[in-house]
Structure formats: C-alpha cells, structure tokens
Amino acid sequence: MSLKPFFRTAGEGLNAIILAREFASQMKRQQKSQRKPPSPEKRSREPSQRQLRVGEELRHALARILQRDELRDPALQGVTVTVTEVRITPDLRNATAYVMPLAGREADAVIEGLGRSAGYLRSQLAREVPLRFSPGLAFALDTSFDHASRINELLHRPDVERDLGPDDDGRDDRDDGA
C-alpha cells in the first residue's frame, strides 16, 4: 500500500507552510491589539522580588553605616537609630527608609538630621551596595511599632479577652490545635 503525498510538489508544501505561519502571526497580532490593559485593581501593587531583595540589602547597609556613627549632624550625635524597612521604587532610583530612634525620643529631629545627611548616606551606600544607580534616599518615621502596640491593647481589652477565652467545652480559641 503506497501513501500518496498530500502535496503534489515540494513547492506547494513550502507555500502552505509559509501561508500557515503568516496566518498564525496575523492572528497573534490581532489578539494582542484586542487585549485591554489590566485595570488598576488587577495591577500588582506589591513589590517585586528584586525590589524586596534590593530593599533588604539597602536596609542592612544603611544600618551598618549608621552604626559606625560617622554622621556629623548635631541631631544624630549619640542617637541610636533602627532601620526597620527600606522600600524602593520599581526603577530602583528612589528609596524610602523607615527608621525609628531608640525609645522614639526626638524622632522629628532625627528624621530631619537624616534628611540633611541623605547625600552622604547615598554616597556610602553606593560604595557598599553594587547597583548601577545609587538610589535617592528619603527618610520616614516608622509607625509599625505604634500600630502593633495599638493592636496589643485591643487584644487585651476585657471584652475581647472574654471572646478569645476558653469555650464551654474547655478548648481555647487561640490554640491552633498543634
């Protein structure tokens, strides 16, 4: 039993393949042009893995620089500053460092002093963290400690503790069963 070729000549087969590829590329272009851009709600507002990694590296480097106590600003003399987080823009050009002075004393003066020292800190970061561009620095007071203490206060209120306390069957709602 002999199999007949689908195309009579090799040229017909080649033309059919070329036409099929052109048709497929036209369909892809048409589908792309009909796509709608994602709505603002669907766009991801979370930082990328690269932003998180670079932010964490900048946080560690900034903490090392501040620990050396080389800043000459009078507001920063003898003050211990904790760098809790560094958020960086998607283009890695600007970073916001969230800081908290020890015991929260003179927080506004410390933030202003760090703002005045931002140029020096940026140059030191450029030496410690190998990036194509050294990001511009802005400093903000970290309020996460205040939020945590507020949540802790809410959880320890008598009416909330009553709701979180043991059930009638003796089980504690706070236990996860582990």
- State pLDDT tens for residues 12-52: 666 777 777 787 777 777 776 676 665 555 556 788 999 99
Nearest to 125 by CA among 134, 133, 138: 134
pTM score, whole prediction: 0.64
Residue 40 CA to residue 42 CA, distance in Å, equals 5
Tell me the mean pLDDT in the region 77-105: 91
Residue 108 CA to residue 116 CA, distance in Å, equals 12
Residue 161 CA to residue 166 CA, distance in Å, equals 10
- State pLDDT tens for residues 133-148: 999 999 999 888 778 8
Q: Alpha carbon 80 to chain centroid distance?
A: 25
Based on its alpha-carbon atoms, the radius of gyration of the chain, rounded to whole angstroms, reads: 30
| Local confidence band at 178 (pLDDT 50, 70, 90 cut-offs) | very low
* Alpha carbons within 13 A on the beta-carbon side of 160: 8
Delimit the domains of the chain by residue range.
Answer: 49-151
For the segment(s) 49-151, the CATH number from 1.20.190.20, 3.40.50.720, 3.60.21.10, 3.30.300.20 is 3.30.300.20
